[in-house]
Amino acid sequence: MMNVALPLAAFVILALLLVVRMPVGVAMLVVGIGGYVSLSGVDPVLAYMKTAAFWNYNSYSFSVIPMFLLMGQFASRSGLSAKLFDAANTFLGHRRGGVAMAAVCGCGAFGAICGSSLATAGTMARVSLPELKRYNYSNALATGALAAGGTLGILIPPSVALIVYAVAVEANIVKMFMAAFIPGLLALIGYLLTIWLYVRIVPDAGPVGPITGRDQRIKALLNTWPTLLLFMVVIGGIYVGLFDPTEAAAVGLFGAGILAWWQGGMRLAGFVDSIKATAVTTAMIFIIVLGADFMNIFLAISGFPEFIADLVTGSSLDPYVILALIILFYLVLGCMLDSLAMIFLTVPIFWPIMSGLDFGMPVSDVQIWFGIIVLVVVELGLITPPVGLNVLIIKAEALGTTLREVFVGVMPFLLSGIVRVILLVAFPALTLWLPQILA
Amino acid sequence: MATVLNRLASAFAITGGILLCLMALLVIISILGRALFLLPVPGDFEIVGMGTAIAVFLSLPYCQLQRGHVTVDMFMAHASKGTQTFFDVVSSYIFAFIALLFAWQMLFGLADMFRQGDISVIIGIPLWIIFPFGVVSFLLLLVCCIYTAYLDLRSMRQ
């Protein structure tokens, strides 16, 4: 019989450390190392530390993470976001709520070349907030749409969180990227519908914007070609099997760098700023990688994941009830915890449960399906009160807006996100169809 | 002292970033070689993995100086300045201790790898060459942790 008390105590200690604002990765290291020591003694842990960081960081599949991060930095400096927003605005701006719709579409398009929600939200806010303000959009609608739209950065591939999931469960990253595409589009459509409904109920929130002629539309649309090209090469290249993800990231980094230099006016100072910003995020993620490794070794030795999996499978609860409970757990935890840390911490415990349940499809499909559900639910955490990182980013960009206004504004989008989760759970084909026909 | 530390950590991060760009360039050369001459750069993925590892190590100290690590802020947001500082300082010292453990153990890892002559599978790069970057980066991270703790204490006293 395994000792359940120790892992449970470890989770309590982890929670306490997080409450007193210890960095997430450091807290995971503390608990992971501590738990490992208490089960195996000091010497094996010290011996493991000789090479732990080396083996965790010396990884071809992980090299894609800093590359996609740097690509996103370059893309943010390329001026592409303004062109995407302008193009969408010429088509949608004349409608009620249209400028906000254009901002969401811009986020979606930018998300297709950027793997990070925060970068997408920040970049798009800088170019679209002045316009939203100019046409007298309510603070709530303008900021809510942008905070929600920012999550498209990670929902639409490339996606750093998806890479982390794929590495954690040893899934095929390429298939995960394919699977994420339709749910990502669904998110975009859901957000647009939300704005459409919103301005029907509160017409003053989203006045009509600029009216543009056909020539202007075509011109604006043609201006977006670099984004389209970058997306076709990077994500298209992955989908058709031309590149593996690292190769695609390298090509994308290079392409985005050229665009930033050529169209965005990035010079040496901008380049240095980009790699410094990338260094900060990289280190942040890889400290969590290291902490998760120690946590997982500790938990694996304690037998906790099997224990929980046996407990759940033995409970004869309906698989969908269990999935619903897991989703609920993510929604609650997502209110407080960073999305990557959440995936690293929970997937090694939840995946053994999920793989043992019968959803009427092969385990390899469950792996993809569950990954997308996790991604979507975890991303909702970016816009849920009380923290919601995207909300904080947008608030920082939107001067004169209160945090309360942004959270109120984001609520309808949160609802559309929950509807989307239900759809994805009810219709696995939404996720599994594209990888099946492309494979 | 403070400027030296800032410059050093920045230099580490920038070196890592340039290395990352070089790795991307290597991958592109390899793709071109494969496409044009059916000749990829041999062992390209080994080099990229190792280069990334070095870049990651080099980024650690700068992130700490920039306070770039994610935290859960909501519970401490309403605590007094003194309480906040106390826990932040304790966290920094704990992180410093962990960095010390890694730096210390990676020295032994370096010695092991060097003695056993472990090399990468395809083009035989000695693995030990990564370890000095790890040791030095963790040591600088240790100093940066102590420095951020010092800054926190000083700002509270003022």
> Residues A71-122: pLDDT tens digits?
999 999 988 899 999 999 999 999 999 999 999 999 999 999 888 888 899 8
**Gap between the Cα atoms of A350 and A419, Å rounded:** 22
The tokens for A378 are: 């975890």
Contacts of B87 in chain A (CB under 8 A): 20-22
Backbone angles phi, psi at A433, to 5 degrees: -65, -50
Confidence bin at A18 (pLDDT 50/70/90): very high
**Gap between the Cα atoms of A377 and A375, Å rounded:** 6
Contacts of B98 in chain A (CB under 8 A): 26, 29-30, 33
Contacts of A54 in chain B (CB under 8 A): 53, 106, 109, 127, 130-131, 134
Helix (H, G, I), strand (E, B) or coil at B126: strand
B15 in A contact zone (CB under 8 Å): no
Contacts of A70 in chain B (CB under 8 A): 17, 20-21, 24
Q: How far apart are the first and last CA of chain A?
A: 44
Cβ separation of B20 and A24 shorter than 8 Å? no
**Gap between the Cα atoms of B59 and B19, Å rounded:** 11
Backbone angles phi, psi at B126, to 5 degrees: -65, 130
Contacts of A66 in chain B (CB under 8 A): 20, 52, 55-56
**Could you please report the per-residue DSSP string of B17-47?**
HHHHHHHHHHHHHHHHHHHHHS-PPTTHHHH
Does pLDDT of A1 surpass 50? no
Q: How far apart are the first and last CA of chain B?
A: 20
Q: Which residue in B7, B18, B72 has the most chain A C-beta atoms within 10 A of its own C-beta, making it the best mutation to test that interface?
A: B72
- A and B: number of Cβ contacts within 8 A: 195
User: For residue B77, what pLDDT is reported?
Assistant: 82
B23 in A contact zone (CB under 8 Å): yes
B147 in A contact zone (CB under 8 Å): no
A254-299: per-residue pLDDT in tens? Answer: 999 999 999 888 999 999 999 999 999 999 999 999 999 999 999 9
Q: How far is B10 from chain A (nearest CA, A)?
A: 7
Contacts of B76 in chain A (CB under 8 A): 19-21
Higher-scoring residue by pLDDT: A277, A3: A277
- Show the CA angle centred on residue A113, arms to residues A164 and A170, nearest 5°: 20
Cβ separation of B57 and A336 shorter than 8 Å? no
Burial tier of A324 (Cβ tally within 10 Å: 0-12, 13-18, 19+)? middle
Strand partners, B119: B126
Q: How far is A230 from chain B (nearest CA, A)?
A: 15
Helix (H, G, I), strand (E, B) or coil at A96: strand
Lowest mean pLDDT among A72-76, A312-316, A354-358, B26-30: A312-316
**Gap between the Cα atoms of A18 and A126, Å rounded:** 32
Output DSSP code: residue A362.
Answer: -
Confidence bin at A188 (pLDDT 50/70/90): very high
Contacts of B84 in chain A (CB under 8 A): 21
**Gap between the Cα atoms of A55 and B50, Å rounded:** 10
B53 in A contact zone (CB under 8 Å): yes
Does pLDDT of A398 surpass 90? no
Q: How far is A387 from chain B (nearest CA, A)?
A: 7
The residue assigned the tokens 């990352």 is B20
B19 in A contact zone (CB under 8 Å): no
Nearest by CB to residue A286, choosing from B28, B56, B64, is: B56
Task: Give the residue from B60, B53, B31, B33 showing the smallest Cα distance to A252.
Answer: B31
Cβ separation of B69 and A50 shorter than 8 Å? no
Chain B's closest residue to A42, CA to CA, is B101
Sign of CA dihedral A384, A146, A266, A71: positive
Express as a percent the part of chain A with pLDDT over 70.
Answer: 100
Q: Kindly state the average pLDDT of the residues A22-46.
A: 95
Does pLDDT of A186 surpass 60? yes
Cβ separation of A21 and B75 shorter than 8 Å? yes
Q: Give rounded-to-5 percent helix, strand, coil for chain A.
A: 80, 0, 20
Does pLDDT of A148 surpass 50? yes
B102 in A contact zone (CB under 8 Å): yes
Cβ separation of B23 and A284 shorter than 8 Å? no
Q: How far is A340 from chain B (nearest CA, A)?
A: 10
Contacts of B14 in chain A (CB under 8 A): 272, 275-276, 279
User: For residue A348, what pLDDT is reported?
Assistant: 87
- R_g over Cα of chain B: 20
The tokens for A326 are: 């897991």
The parts of chain B modelled with pLDDT lower than 70 are: none
- Show the CA angle centred on residue A320, arms to residues A315 and A321, nearest 5°: 55
Q: Kindly state the average pLDDT of the residues A322-338.
A: 89
B6 in A contact zone (CB under 8 Å): no
Task: Give the residue from A331, A403, A351, A279 showing the smallest Cα distance to B65.
Answer: A279
Q: Which residue in A49, A62, A70 has the most chain B C-beta atoms within 10 A of its own C-beta, making it the best mutation to test that interface?
A: A49
Contacts of B88 in chain A (CB under 8 A): 21
Q: Kindly state the average pLDDT of the residues A304-318.
A: 86
Nearest by CB to residue B76, choosing from A21, A24, A337, is: A21
Express as a percent the part of chain A with pLDDT over 90.
Answer: 67
User: For residue B74, what pLDDT is reported?
Assistant: 79
**Gap between the Cα atoms of A119 and A159, Å rounded:** 12
Q: Which helix (H) or strand (E) holds A402?
A: none
CA B142, distance to chain mean position in Å, is 11
Chain A's closest residue to B51, CA to CA, is A58
User: For residue A424, what pLDDT is reported?
Assistant: 97
Contacts of B105 in chain A (CB under 8 A): 46-47, 49-50
Confidence bin at A386 (pLDDT 50/70/90): confident
Cβ separation of B68 and A249 shorter than 8 Å? no
Q: Kindly state the average pLDDT of the residues A371-376.
A: 95
pTM here is: 0.91
Q: Kindly state the average pLDDT of the residues A307-334.
A: 89
**Gap between the Cα atoms of A54 and A52, Å rounded:** 5
Strand partners, A208: A96
Contacts of B134 in chain A (CB under 8 A): 53-54
Q: How many CB atoms lie within 10 A of CB A372?
A: 24
Cβ separation of A276 and B17 shorter than 8 Å? yes
